[in-house]
């Protein structure tokens, strides 16, 4: 951990990535310091060292790993989105955008943005499935960009509608535009208030357009793929995780004792959704690094092709003690949707702490003198092989 911290980006000239992008939003130093304290990292490391000194069979390991994850498609042209928003005479709103809902909470986030902009409860916002005959030329819902792109496009459409409504209300009620506010399904117009639906009916009768398309393109980004230089990412998402594991040196079987995660999502659009994404991403990452092995036979046929052989994590694989927190200091320095940050793929990398904790447990066998040769995924077979190597090293050191 000490070496990792010494290699952090800094503002004293150590702020340039290998692809020549200047880091302007680095917060990992603050986050790691906070997680070190909240997880009792150093006390636990001392306790684990004492445990390992007297328990040769079951070794424990601990690791704190930071994550810096760039957000945007490196294929710059994908960083665009469209949206279509209708307001009906009864005050209900229909929303369609280019993002695909696959259980990650995208639709609810985009609907929240529209509801907040119009001062309406969520039940007034209706979302229909993504269709290219409504919003054409959609980008893939990938690269953790779903909310960043589509919520901004939806907000753009909503703001156009709101501008029309404000202009109409200002003229109709003879008040200044600055004195018109949308809140709690009411429109406050100077000293009076009317229902949002009533304003919509009046606007309809006055032939105000109640439908709008929105568009968003991510600013600032550019990348020369041949030169390997540019600014491929709009910003970075950061996180850190502490994982503690127990390893049976006789079989290679292991379990995750405890996990502490601190993740930066900026100003969260929906904390409940983001916490679920972080936890789910971490569990998926556990599988990637410990159980999900791809194996081909000598004829090139993949043999790990079913749940019986390709082993993904189950509910029982969830760490016994798992704490996930959103970083309170998070606020995106870039102008994203309400200063939030993407939370799709970045948490997957937090599971690197599990692999490193297993490596730490193996390393304890030879007195932490060697970095074990431990490939990913760290299956029980791979761990047992690494254990045997470290035991041989320890024996050779003892004889010498």
> Are 280 and 387 within one domain?
yes
Q: Which domain-ending residue is among 217, 244, 276?
A: 217
DSSP element (H, E) containing 360: helix 352-363
pLDDT digits (tens, 9 = 90+) for 326-350: 999 889 999 999 999 999 899 999 9
Residue 281 belongs to a domain: yes
Residue 353 belongs to a domain: yes
Residue 225 belongs to a domain: no
- Give the pLDDT band (50/70/90) at residue 399: low
Q: Would you state the pLDDT for residue 315? A: 87
- Is the pTM of the predicted complex or chain greater than 0.75? yes
> Are 251 and 383 within one domain?
yes
Residue 322 belongs to a domain: yes
> Are 69 and 85 within one domain?
no
> Are 198 and 136 within one domain?
yes
For the stretch 40-43, contacts whose Cβ atoms lie closer than 8 Å and that sit 24 or more positions apart, written own/partner, are: 41/1, 41/242
Q: How far is CA 157 from CA 110, 165, 304, 330, in A?
A: 12, 13, 47, 27
Q: Would you state the pLDDT for residue 330? A: 85
> Are 48 and 85 within one domain?
no
pLDDT of residue 398 exceeding 70, the answer is no
Respond yes or no: is residue 279 known to be catalytic: no
> Are 199 and 262 within one domain?
no
Place of tokens 């009792």: 40
Q: Active site residue: 36, 334, 345, 390, which one? A: 345
> Are 69 and 87 within one domain?
no
Q: Which domain-ending residue is among 217, 241, 272?
A: 217
Q: Which domain-ending residue is among 217, 238, 256?
A: 217
pLDDT of residue 400 exceeding 60, the answer is no
> Are 213 and 360 within one domain?
no
Q: Is 220 left (phi over 0), alpha (psi -120 to 50) or beta?
A: left
Q: Would you state the pLDDT for residue 394? A: 84
What range does the domain containing 52 cover?
2-73+230-399
**Residues 6 or more apart whose Cβ sits within 8 Å of residue 305:** none
> Are 92 and 153 within one domain?
yes
> Are 118 and 173 within one domain?
yes
Mean pLDDT over residues 383-390, rounded?
Answer: 95
CATH number at residue 159: 3.30.365.10
> Are 256 and 205 within one domain?
no
pLDDT of residue 39 exceeding 90, the answer is yes
Q: What percent of the chain has pLDDT over 70?
A: 99
**Contact assessment for residue 232 and residue 20, using Cβ atoms and an 8 Å cutoff:** no
Residue 222 belongs to a domain: no
Place of tokens 């050191």: 397
Residue 355 belongs to a domain: yes
pLDDT digits (tens, 9 = 90+) for 359-385: 999 999 999 998 999 999 999 999 999
Residue 391 belongs to a domain: yes
Q: Reading across the β-sheet that carries 321-326, which strands appear in turn?
A: 58-71, 235-248, 254-263, 321-326
Residue 54 belongs to a domain: yes
Tally of domains in the chain: 2
> Are 45 and 115 within one domain?
no
pLDDT digits (tens, 9 = 90+) for 173-228: 999 999 999 999 999 999 999 999 999 999 999 999 999 999 999 999 999 999 99
């Amino acid at each position: 951990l000490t070496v990792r911290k010494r290699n952090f980006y800094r503002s004293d000239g150590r702020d340039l990535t290998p692809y020549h992008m200047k880091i302007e939003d680095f917060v990992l130093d603050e986050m790691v310091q906070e997680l070190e304290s909240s997880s009792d990292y150093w006390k636990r490391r001392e306790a684990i060292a004492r445990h390992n000194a007297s328990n040769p069979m079951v070794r424990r390991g601990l690791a704190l790993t930071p994550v810096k994850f760039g957000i945007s498609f490196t294929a710059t042209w994908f960083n665009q989105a469209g949206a279509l928003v209708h307001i009906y005479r009864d005050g209900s709103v229909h929303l369609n955008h280019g993002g695909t809902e696959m259980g990650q909470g995208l639709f609810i986030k985009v609907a929240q943005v529209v509801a907040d902009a119009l001062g309406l409860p969520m039940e007034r916002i209706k979302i229909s499935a993504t269709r290219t005959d409504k919003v054409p030329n959609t980008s893939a819902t990938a690269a953790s960009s779903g909310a960043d792109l589509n919520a901004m496009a939806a907000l753009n459409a909503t703001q156009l509608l709101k501008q029309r409504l404000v202009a109409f209300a200002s003229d109709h009620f003879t008040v200044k535009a600055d004195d018109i506010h949308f809140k709690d399904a009411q429109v406050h117009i100077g000293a009076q208030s009317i229902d949002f639906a009533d304003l919509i009916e009046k606007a309809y009768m006055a032939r105000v357009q109640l439908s709008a398309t929105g568009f968003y393109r991510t600013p600032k980004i550019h990348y020369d793929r041949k030169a390997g230089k540019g600014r491929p990412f709009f910003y970075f998402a950061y996180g850190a995780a502490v994982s503690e594991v127990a390893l049976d040196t006789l079989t290679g079987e292991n379990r995750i004792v405890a996990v502490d995660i601190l993740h930066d999502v900026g100003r969260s659009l929906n904390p409940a959704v983001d916490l679920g994404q972080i936890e789910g991403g971490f569990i998926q990452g556990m599988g990637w690094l410990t159980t999900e092995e791809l194996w081909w036979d000598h004829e090139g046929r993949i043999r790990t092709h079913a749940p019986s052989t390709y082993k993904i994590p189950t509910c029982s694989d969830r760490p016994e003690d798992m704490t996930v927190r959103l970083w309170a200091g998070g606020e995106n320095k870039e102008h994203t949707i309400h200063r939030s940050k993407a939370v799709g793929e970045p948490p997957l990398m937090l599971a690197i702490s599990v692999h490193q904790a297993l490596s730490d447990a193996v390393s304890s066998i030879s007195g932490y003198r060697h970095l074990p040769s431990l490939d990913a995924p760290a299956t029980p077979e791979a761990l047992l092989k690494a254990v045997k190597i470290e035991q041989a090293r320890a024996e050779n050191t003892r004889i010498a």
